[in-house]
Amino acid sequence: MRFEIGDKIVYPNHGAGTIIGIETKEILGDEKQYYIMELPIGDMRVMIPIDRIDEIGVRGIIDEEEADQILALLKGDKSKMSQNWNRRYRANMEKLKTGDIYEVGGVVRDLTIRDEEKGLSTGEKKMLSNARQILISELVLAKDMDEEEVIDIIDNAFDNNPHIEEEE
């Protein structure tokens, strides 16, 4: 699939952004074309090799209807997860690597609920933070909202999640 300047895309493990340019760079004597993607969060730019976008899993962003489905997913039941943090970490890492927004949303939901119930290891806290950033970046573009609005919507989804037990 070929993208154009102005297209909104998702780069797995980095999140969503807008293509602001296409550049040719010579690296180690090899000339390649790159998409220059600007992320809506953190004022970051990423260079994506055009000849590897399928292999990397670059895709267009979801539409607003799918964004609403993702927000509904956050209110759902936690998936069955291994009690072993190492297995759980690896399973969640595999889900994030797919770049599938539903998998990312599931990781955010599951780790948020687990954090509320039992707490998370340092590695899982970092994973949750990264997964939230990936989710937020795509929802910002899909819903045409700013970062704070999207964070509030996500936080409200968890505040109203019946699957998170309130502390007495």
Q: What is the mean pLDDT of each run of 10 residues along the chain (168 residues)?
A: 92 92 92 94 89 93 94 85 85 92 95 90 94 95 94 85 51
Q: Hey, do 8-60 and 64-159 end up sharing a CATH topology, with the first three levels equal?
A: no
What is the structure's pLDDT at 14?
87
What is the structure's pLDDT at 168?
35
Q: How many CB atoms lie within 10 A of CB 109?
A: 26
Q: With contact defined as beta carbons under 8 Å apart, do 92 and 107 qualify?
A: yes
Extents of the domains making up the chain: 8-60, 64-159
Predicted model pTM: 0.87
What is the structure's pLDDT at 161?
62
Give the separation between CA 160 and CA 153, rounded to whole angstroms.
Answer: 11
Phi, psi of 15 (to 5 degrees): 110, -165
Topology of domain 8-60, CATH? Thrombin, subunit H (2.40.10)
Give the separation between CA 86 and CA 40, rounded to whole angstroms.
Answer: 32
What is the structure's pLDDT at 10?
94
Homologous superfamily (CATH) of 64-159 is CarD-like, C-terminal domain (1.20.58.1290)
What is the structure's pLDDT at 160?
64
What is the structure's pLDDT at 70?
94
Q: With contact defined as beta carbons under 8 Å apart, do 156 and 75 qualify?
A: no
What is the structure's pLDDT at 61?
95
